[in-house]
Amino acid sequence: MVEAIPLRKFIFVRVTGPCTAPLIGGHIQEPHHDTLKGLFRGKAHSKMIALGIEGSANKLGVGLILHPAKGGPARILANIRHTYVSPPGEGFLPKDTAKHHRAWITRLVKKAMKEAGITVDDLDCICYTKGPGMGAPLQSVAVAARMLSLLWGKELVGVNHCVGHIEMGREITGAQNPVVLYVSGGNTQVIAYAEQRYRIFGEALDIAVGNCLDRFARTLNISNDPAPGYNIEQLAKQGVHLLDLPYAVKGMDCSFSGILASIDILAASLKANPGQVDSFTGGPITTADLCFSLQETVFAMLVEITERAMAHVGSNQVLIVGGVGCNERLQEMMGLMARDRGGSVFAIDERFCIDNGIMIAHAGLLAYRTGFRTLLDESTCTQRFRTDEVYVKWRD
């Protein structure tokens, strides 16, 4: 069961049932609850169950979800994740990430099935991330999905990664028809639904906001465990001086590469001359100030284009999804904007914000129920798969 609870003017979620805690540092954490284990043994016509596999970047996720036939909230049976963590100062290479996924996929699938208390006969379909994402990791996931499909005799459903984030966010929070801010390491988009498509109103023109934060973490040579963006966020909480950085909003779109270049120059200057002081306060400039300034600038840009989209479509709801959506400062800034407009912000915790298998299972099962299938010879993957390419047949 999924229960929404209000917190600090935002909507967060508490999930009861067998879902795992967020993965930290490349280790699988045990689930908080096991109350639904064994409940769904045996095939019944009143429900559908899907297995979802996500591996478009450095996180490999396997999830199992149940949709009641007569509607009602989806039930999370298992949601397991394992992360490839690269050394400090380095990003994750596609070949190394793919090797990680191949090494862990069988263990995660077995653990998810055991945790959910179901058998292969209970499954209706196998869903996998078709794209967008990194080529080699996506291929590893597609091969694993095809193998399970042939081994178990189950139909395949290729899922758009971005749509998976959106549909999971809608299911968890209960947001009706929000403007969606999708922010992650690979994507930055402002989206609204219209005529069975998720329409992109604005996006990053170069690098994604999450990639900007991650690359600055590499500049500072800080840990990638549990995630570079998370560590930037913690440092930013200690910052007190707002430094001048480029503000690059172009209509409904954003550009982050110039901001990254500027903050990298400031970081190099601070490293060479540690005794620099702020020209307004006279206080010493620190690494925390750099992180604070970067966050404040890029998040202000995201709030601006999101508010403009809300005004355009006449919505008073914002749903934040994607890994960067876990950032508390982004949620706070978006909440202030929404409050001034008499609206609401919906956000989800790291179990569902960060890439996970349950979102792929959920979006795939929504499509599967409408008759969508991915044939075996079409079960490919693609690094470029636009959110607005997907025909959203399951929505009016």
Class of 2-171+354-389 per CATH?
A: alpha beta
Q: Kindly write down the DSSP assignment for every residue of 58-122, as one continuous string.
A: SEEEEEEEEEETT----EEEEEEEEE--PPTT----HHHHHHHHHHHHHHHHHHHHHHHT--GGG
pLDDT, residue 70, reads: 82
Residue pLDDT tens, the chain, 396 long: 343 333 233 343 333 333 332 322 232 222 333 323 333 333 334 799 999 999 999 999 999 999 998 888 999 999 999 999 999 999 999 999 999 999 999 999 999 999 999 999 999 999 999 999 999 999 999 999 999 999 999 999 999 999 999 999 999 999 989 999 999 999 999 999 999 999 999 999 999 999 999 999 999 999 999 999 999 999 999 999 999 999 999 999 999 999 999 999 999 999 999 999 998 889 999 999 999 999 999 999 999 999 999 999 999 999 999 999 999 999 999 999 999 999 999 999 999 999 999 999 999 999 999 999 999 999 999 999 999 999 999 998
Q: Where are the beta strands (DSSP E) in the chain?
A: 2-7, 10-15, 47-54, 59-68, 75-83, 125-131, 155-160, 179-183, 188-194, 197-203, 249-250, 253-254, 317-321, 344-347
List Cα–Cα distances, 276 to 246, 260, 285, in angstroms: 20, 20, 6
Domain 176-352, CATH among 3.30.420.40, 3.40.1180.10, 3.30.300.130, 3.40.50.9100: 3.30.420.40
pLDDT, residue 24, reads: 25
Residue 237: in which H helix or E strand, if any?
A: none
Same fold, 2-171+354-389 and 176-352: yes
pLDDT, residue 32, reads: 31
- In angstroms, rounded to a whole number, what is the distance separating the alpha carbons of residues 362 and 77? 11
pLDDT, residue 348, reads: 93
- Asked whether the beta carbons of 255 and 205 are under 8 A apart, the reply is yes
pLDDT, residue 28, reads: 29
Token output for 147: 């193998």
Burial of 283 from C-beta contacts in 10 A (0-12 / 13-18 / 19+): exposed
Contacts of 272 (CB under 8 A, 6+ apart): none
Contacts of 143 (CB under 8 A, 6+ apart): none
Q: Dihedral of CA 138/139/140/141: which sign?
A: positive
pLDDT, residue 280, reads: 87
Distance of CA 266 to the CA centre of its chain: 30
**Alpha-carbon dihedral of residues 114, 15, 76, 74, nearest 10 degrees?**
160
- Asked whether the beta carbons of 157 and 126 are under 8 A apart, the reply is yes
pLDDT, residue 5, reads: 32
Token output for 341: 């407009």
- In angstroms, rounded to a whole number, what is the distance separating the alpha carbons of residues 23 and 44? 32
pLDDT, residue 10, reads: 38
Q: In a 3-state reduction of DSSP, which class is residue 196?
A: coil
- In angstroms, rounded to a whole number, what is the distance separating the alpha carbons of residues 161 and 167? 10
Annotated domain spans of the chain: 2-171+354-389, 176-352
**What is the number of other CB atoms lying within 10 angstroms of the CB of residue 390?**
20
